[in-house]
């Protein structure tokens, strides 16, 4: 049985929020994570993964075009 990977981040109010990593997507030589808050299956967010000093950092994708391209790549995995 595969265990879901959970990461914790701080929201804009300084509150800890746990996210499940739904999918890791590679696109244009970049890695992205599709994250869903635990308990909120309807919402998902796209974060760019950048590795700094051996640690992954998750950067929110705010550019709408980049966000859409990542979602299209994710959705294309269901077409295969």
Domain assignment present for residue 68? The answer is yes
pLDDT of residue 3: 60
Write the burial class of residue 42 (CB in 10 Å: 0-12 exposed, 13-18 middle, 19+ buried): exposed
Percent of the chain scored above 90 by pLDDT? 65
Owning domain of residue 67: 6-76
Beta bridge partners of 33: 24, 47
pLDDT winner (highest mean) among 1-5, 37-41, 70-74: 70-74
Structure tokens that stand for 12 in this block:
């804009």
pLDDT of residue 1: 41
pLDDT of residue 18: 93
Domain assignment present for residue 25? The answer is yes
Count how many domains the chain has. 1
pLDDT of residue 80: 58
* Average pLDDT score over residue span 55-60: 92
Domain assignment present for residue 17? The answer is yes
Q: Report strand pairing: 45-52 vs 55-60.
A: antiparallel
Domain assignment present for residue 1? The answer is no
At 64, phi and psi to the nearest 5?
A: -60, -40
């Amino acid at each position: 049985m595969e265990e879901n990977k959970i990461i914790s981040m701080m929201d804009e109010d300084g509150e800890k929020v746990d996210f499940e990593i739904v999918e890791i997507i590679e696109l244009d030589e970049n890695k992205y994570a599709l994250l869903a808050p635990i308990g909120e299956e309807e919402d998902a967010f796209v974060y760019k993964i950048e590795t700094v000093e051996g640690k992954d950092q998750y950067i929110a994708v705010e550019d709408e075009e980049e966000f859409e391209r990542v979602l299209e790549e994710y959705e294309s995995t269901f077409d295969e």
